[in-house]
Structure 1
Amino acid sequence: MRKYIANIAPLNAEKIGTSAHGTAEFTIDGDTMHVKIEMFDTPANTEHWQHFHGFTDGKDAIVATMEQDTNHDGYIDLPETTPVSGTTMVPFDKAPQDMDIPNDTYPVADANGYYRYEKDVPMDILREDFKRDFGTDDIALDKRVVYVHGVPASMELPDTVKGDLLGYDTHVTLPIAGGKIEMIEND
């Protein structure tokens, strides 16, 4: 059994008015990965896309900081995370193994900005789809970072804040928290 954890810290907190934080835990036992993500103080009543990001060449991903704010608008948007965090890889939605990123099956925070997500993921399907998309079946969790995204559609964002190259809405993709995944147990 292998266990991993990411302590998820706020991103863009001063701009969005809330300091989203929490933990993501991953337990791989046999051919199942149990994922548990618990978040606090996220924008309330909002769906939060959440994924792990990384590099396809095995490079170690890190969470973006204000140093990555290349256009100096005071926000770290999704494209600005790419140089240090890599690409969006696996979603934590209703079926992570399907690797279907744009959908509406991500968790929705309650009125207090809290949500808890738990899912058992079949590793054989995940590895197969991961290899299809990234050329390797090595999930390499300890080289990945977790991002939580999403602010209410009513929040005003400057035109300088971008979604991504595929044109997803900036309200959906704006990172609100992130954490580096670290191995804590390997039996």
Structure 2
Amino acid sequence: MTQKYSAEIVPLNEDKIGTAAHGKATFEIVGDILKIHISMHDTPKNTQHWEHFHGFPDGKEAQIATKAQDVNGDGFVDLPETEPVSGTTMVPFDAAPHDMNVPNDTYPVSDDNGNFEYEKDVPLDKLQAKFKEVFGTDDLELDKRVIYVHGVPDDLKLPDTIAGAVGHYDQHVTLPIAVGKIKKD
């Protein structure tokens, strides 16, 4: 039996980054494969874009962040400010989602027009095993998750108040630019 999910991805921080990133994500579970397709438009061009689903390990329903999450009033919603409503970063949409190795350089890079497509067939058994190892359950509960797309050019001036560095990756890499609620179709 095939299970289908999708998310309309809407801009976040668009008034500060100069572009309104948007798109659509679809997730289809077919047998033992999770098929992921993400189509993004108007992202910062020629930039690597980290993308993940976020959520709460306890199964609480995640919601998308809005400007209301800008608790420090700097005009940006940074990664830590999304956590109270969206939970933690869970599964990356990179070269190997089933490895759940978030900080790496295998995410999509947008073209000269700010567009990119991401397609990946993920072995569900490997993803569920790693998910259980990290979060204590093998139930991905996609309809309780949100998708985030991150990343702005290194030369974009960001205030010192933006948090979210991960390892040697700074806030330019982790700043959310778009978000969508995953729903069961």
The aligned counterpart of 1:103 is 104
Kept in 2, the 8 Å contact 1:149–1:176? The answer is yes
The aligned counterpart of 1:124 is 125
The aligned counterpart of 1:141 is 142
Kept in 1, the 8 Å contact 2:66–2:77? The answer is yes
RMSD: 1.0
Deviation at 1:165, TM superposition (A): 6.8
Q: Distance in 2 between matches of 1:90 and 1:180?
A: 15
Deviating beyond 4 angstroms after TM superposition, the runs of 4 or more aligned structure 1 residues are: 164-167
Extract unaligned runs of 5+ from structure 2.
none
Give matches, 1:39-58, under 5 Å. Answer: 39-58=40-59
% identical equivalent positions: 64
The aligned counterpart of 2:94 is 93
Extract unaligned runs of 5+ from structure 1.
none
Q: Distance in 2 between matches of 1:163 and 1:155?
A: 16
Kept in 2, the 8 Å contact 1:153–1:171? The answer is yes
Any idea what the Cα deviations from partners look like across 1:83-105, whole Å, max 9, x if unmatched? 00000000000010010100000
Any idea what the Cα deviations from partners look like across 1:125-156, whole Å, max 9, x if unmatched? 00000000001101000000000000001110
Deviation at 1:163, TM superposition (A): 1.3
Deviation at 1:75, TM superposition (A): 0.3
The AA in structure 1 aligned to 2:182 is I
Q: Distance in 2 between matches of 1:165 and 1:153?
A: 15
SS at match of 2:19: coil
Kept in 1, the 8 Å contact 2:40–2:116? The answer is yes
Deviation at 1:167, TM superposition (A): 6.7
The AA in structure 2 aligned to 1:82 is E
Question: Could you say if the C-alpha distance between residues 167 and 64 of structure 1 is closer, same or farther in structure 2, counting changes exceeding 3 Å?
Answer: farther
Give matches, 1:144-183, under 5 Å. Answer: 144-164=145-165, 168-183=169-184
Aligned residues: 184
The AA in structure 2 aligned to 1:50 is E
